[in-house]
Amino acid sequence: MNAKIVLAVLVASALRLATGAFACDLSADKVGQTIGTKTTTTPDGVVRVAWPRNEVKVTIDGLPLRPFAGLGSWAAFQKTDHGAMLMGDTVVFQDEVNPAIDVALANGIEITGLHNHFFFDEPKVYFMHIGGEGCPDKLAQGVRAVWDAIKKVRSAKAEPARRFDDKVPPPGSLDAEKLASIIGSKAATEDGIVKITIGRHTTMHGEKFGGSMGLTTWAAFSGSDALAVMDGDFAMTASEAQPVLKSLRHGRVNIVALHNHMIGEAPAYYFVHFWGKGEAGQLATAFKQALDDQAKLADNNPAPDAASIDRQVLDLERQFESAILHGDLAFFERVLAPEFTHTSQNGKQRNRAEWLANHKPGETPYESLNTDGLSVRVFGPTAIVTGKIAPKGRSLSGAPIEGEYRFLRTWTNHNGNWQVAAFQSTRIAP
């Protein structure tokens, strides 16, 4: 390859990179043009759009509620290193939910929650939380598509529907053995209903628990083999949520809620409630497909047990000690949480920036730390590490560093990544 060809390739590559970077810049004007509405930009640079839902009159506990009191859809875009992060909340009536979910998932927008905000609302109103990451233009197109899908439902029928359809399964018989065979799990029957329950496991407060404590995926079938209703609940980790939603919707199963049931478990679990109507075997097949799609992810990302979490945190502790001795700023940049605080033995506090400034390569006063007696206690997404060190070295003034210290380090799990939130050391009296 001669020099001219090499130069042409390099120029073309640079242009592609520059064009891609430019396309991923966050522009309030472009976001507004794409979504077709006015934008506002907050002092911290977040671009926001809003859509007040005033075309359907809603009363809460008899009070006509105006959009500014909580009936407004919105989306917010924050600049990131690779484009933008999207968060938002979308007001949806019952017949708008699943059309909006379908369009969101088709456009790379994540569904992060679906629930009510009110009691005694007429008509019933729900809130679909959305998220995403990528180029802001693409994210804005996704938001526009979701809002357009909702508007399409309302343009076809001004008043929100009160039922999925007119079909009501009459009492009949269900082939429990056939449904169990399709799904691959044992079925229980009671009062003409066939129910299949599958347990999962996680940990909380350092204790493992599972299906008997309520961590289950289940489906209940009512009606007959010819026309049945399937309602149920899917227990999912964060990485499983979007694939399960896509699978259920592919099987024409309606999503009716997405939320959490617990606080503090690790890994965290989320629950999608669903409602399907049709031939019982077809419903069971859709449920089984969602289970299979979930299992593919679970096989690739097995839930860590308590022992493996301990090992993971202890390994990070060893890396933390090495980073102190060698001034590994890249490691500290990765594991120090934004809110990190270090409290030294003399009561002086350092924040994240101050810690980084004091741990540069080649500037450490320590020759060794001589860590001993490490102990890890895990409480859901938090790990408390205690131990003892006997550092050796010389201070900047040349004085020897000696003595023994006890320390406590607090690690928190952020989306599967452990970070240090706090670190405190206390000198042991001679």
For residue 214, what is the domain's CATH number? 3.30.70
In a domain, 17, yes or no: no
Give the Cβ contact number of residue 301 at 10 Å. Answer: 14
What's 329's domain CATH number? 3.10.450.50
Can you give the pLDDT at residue 31?
97
Task: Examine the fold and report which residue of 285, 300, 315 is the final residue of a domain before the chain moves on.
Answer: 300
In a domain, 265, yes or no: yes
Can you give the pLDDT at residue 64?
97
Task: Examine the fold and report which residue of 239, 272, 300 is the final residue of a domain before the chain moves on.
Answer: 300
Residue bearing tokens 């896509």: 246
In a domain, 375, yes or no: yes
Domain count for the chain: 3
Same domain, yes or no: 37 and 150: yes
Residue bearing tokens 């966050």: 26
Same domain, yes or no: 89 and 147: yes
In a domain, 3, yes or no: no
Q: How far is CA 183 from the centre of its chain?
A: 28
Which letter, b or e, does each residue of 253-271 get, where b requires 16 or more Cβ atoms within 10 Å of its Cβ? bbbbbbeeebeebbbbbbb
What's 77's domain CATH number? 3.30.1460
Can you give the pLDDT at residue 363?
83
- CA-CA distance, 35 to 311, in Å (whole number)? 48
Same domain, yes or no: 208 and 109: no
Same domain, yes or no: 152 and 45: yes
Domain that includes residue 349, residue range: 306-427
In a domain, 372, yes or no: yes
Same domain, yes or no: 261 and 376: no
Same domain, yes or no: 321 and 233: no
Instruction: Name the CA dihedral angle for 55, 60, 66, 68, rounded to a multiple of 10 degrees.
Output: -120
Can you give the pLDDT at residue 9?
40
pLDDT < 70: residue spans in the chain: 1-23, 298-305, 415
Same domain, yes or no: 107 and 216: no
Can you give the pLDDT at residue 207?
85
**Whether the Cβ atoms of residue 198 and residue 225 lie closer than 8 Å to each other:** no
Which pTM value belongs to this model? Answer: 0.69
Same domain, yes or no: 45 and 151: yes
Can you give the pLDDT at residue 56?
96
Can you give the pLDDT at residue 13?
42
